[in-house]
Structure 1
Amino acid sequence: MRAWWREITGLVLPVACGGCGTARTLLCEECARALYGPAARRARPVPEPAGLPMVHAAAPYEDAVRAVLLAHKERGALGLARPLGAALAGAVRASVSRPAGRAGPLLLVPVPSARRAVRARGHDAGRRIAMAAAGELRRGGTEARALPVLRQRRAVADQSGLTARQRVANLTGALEVVAGGGRLLE
């Protein structure tokens, strides 16, 4: 119900840029440039977990980019899912090299938000952005699907403010594949 109400009020009330607050635009040109950046770049956490595949970031998580993501995630600016998905799709394109002859769609598996966070926000931001990214990839000619097959098996602490090492400890063993989800990943 809360998400539905936000959608209706978004039609009636004026919008402001999720990054800088400029009136009458969901995402101004300057904040869009920060989000889309020149190109996705390699991102390496410290410490880098063993076996971590090559990861790319759409843009540095700072300033306008951080504000846009938080506007979508915490303040319900649902219209930002599409530009955030487009940025994620750019990072996916930079990261993924598909082996020749690999059949089937590219699968985007979002990390689920805690149930209590989804209830409080009225939506699962990561899932919404992954679905938008899959749509952007399909529009660009890449067969892709968002496949929400992970769930939290135990409670985790809020990740904001944690160091990379603390985040690893916080999430170790916290996620599992939902029943029947494994066959969808094959």
Structure 2
Amino acid sequence: MTAALTGFSLFLSLIFAVGPQNAFVLQQGIRREHVLATVLACAVSDTILIFAGIASFGVIVTQAPLVEPLLRYGGATFLIYYGWTKAWSALFRREVLSLSETAPQPLGQTLLTCLTITWLNPSAYLETVVLLGAAAPQTDSSLMFGVGATAASFIFFFFLGFGARLLTQLFRNPNTWRFLDAGLTPRGGPTVALDLAG
């Protein structure tokens, strides 16, 4: 149970930020458009990456022991750099959530966009395969660690997708974005000006 809670809290701290993927889920939630399919696509993709990282990282470290410290310190450097970009954005951000009335997109197109944002995002691999893979215990409890991380992903995306409608007005305020930038670890690099018109 301890391993599951560790995986849950660690991955929640990594995923809980507004990057391209989360911005897309927010968009779909605010529009109430293919929300269930979108959040399932994100959470299932995370699950695949999480367990791929847990399963493969130990093998990689066994074959090349220098990989682990390199990835750990490389990941730390990455997070420090993007933490700085978030601090800068928190001070000077001027973007707001722009939401236009547009025709609903077909389910297939929505899923293709969602999966492209997810699987072509280098930070997703850093967070799941590298950081979680490195943090996972190399024991029998690694399975529960992965279950906890997966649970964090499902809970977060369902909350974000289905709760987004309640946050529409909040995200029209630039101060909301500054608050997120100031307090959250970025997922997917620096948050850019978001136009959720489609």
Asked whether the two chains share a fold, i.e. TM above 0.5, the reply is no
TM, length-normalised to structure 2:
0.25
Greater relative contact order (Cα < 8 A, sep 6+): 2
TM, length-normalised to structure 1:
0.26
Structure whose residues are more often helix by fraction: 2
